[in-house]
Amino acid sequence: MANIGIIGAGSWGTALTVLLANNGHSVCVWSIVEEEIRSLQENYEHKDKLPGVSIPRSVTFTTDLEQAISGKEILVLAVPSPFTRSTAQKMAPFVKEGQIIVDVAKGIEENTLMTLSQIVKQEIPVADVAVLSGPSHAEEVGRGIPTTIVIGATTRKTAEYLQGVFMSEVFRVYTSPDMLGMELGGSLKNVVALAAGMADGLGYGDNSKAALITRGIAEIGKLGVKMGGKAETFAGLTGIGDLIVTCASMHSRNRRAGILMGQGKTMEEAMEEVHQVVEGVYSAKAALALGKKYGVQLPIIEQVNLILFENKPADQAVKDLMLRDKKIENPDMDWN
């Protein structure tokens, strides 16, 4: 049994709390929001973010960050990506040398173009930082619906230790040394999921969705490999696997926001209606900047940026994508 601190009590933090507590671990959940912690202590259910999912009575809750961190073998950092750096800064004074921190959010910081694990390592240099990613909507994980996921770490020892902690009969865990590829796949797929939602909002069909997913992973993989990620990662659970579920599911806040924008709402209106952090909006500019930095064309991500930040109509963006210059699908193939 491990002592685990969950830093962040949103839907994903709550779902992982349920998973880890059911695995027999001692779990303490932290939130900066006193009302949220009080409700969790009274109800053992997150009525706002994960209604209907019961939290085991063994779990404790606190607004005291030092209490959530002290004496824990593992810290699970589950705050939304825009708050990763500020939360890591608050955590730093209480973190011991070699502390395992598993970041489970997905995003790229806009002004630095850093992945979340890079941010955590910068703010907490003494930590052993790992990531968890894959097709895993909190609404399903919290209810024990089977899924598979990947733990990325800098050492095999840490990855295999965490694999044993998280793995259960409904949560199969693989390991990977390619943390960069995992994080790029998990972050950039949210931008493509916005596009998939827009296509749904415009009333397009399955052909359109399949095309977006396929060309979307091509963009993600091309950029990711150029940055140092592994092609196999983008063909796996944290690449195409995560992209499929995020583009297809109504649990996806990115897809839901995209649908609303496809129906004519502004980015601000869509985010307000979804009432959760829409990670793809925060990663879109960073994704485009990475494409420019590494000399990789990202036509879908470029059009999403124009829709989000320059009020381009979604239907016009689709037309512009369809009428781009003619291409060969795989330029590296020879005609022989």
Annotated active-site positions, please? 189
- Yes or no: say if 138 and 279 are a contact pair by the CB < 8 Å rule: no
Say how far apart CA 168 and CA 63 lie, in whole Å.
29
Place of tokens 């998939």: 196
Residue 273 contacts residue 197 (beta carbons within 8 Å): no
Q: In which region does residue 277 sit, left (phi positive, over 0), alpha (psi from -120 to 50) or beta (all else)?
A: beta
Strand partners, 60: 28
Burial (Cβ within 10 Å: 0-12, 13-18, ≥19) of residue 146: exposed
Helix axes 179-201, 253-262, angle to 10 degrees: 30
Q: Sheet with 26-30: list strands edge to edge.
A: 60-62, 26-30, 3-7, 74-77, 100-103, 128-133, 147-152, 171-176
Instruction: Tell me how far apart the alpha carbons of residues 307 and 197 are, in angstroms, rounded to a whole number.
Output: 13
> What are 110's two structure tokens?
């806009």
Instruction: Find all residues with CB under 8 Å of 42, minimum gap 6, and list them.
Output: none
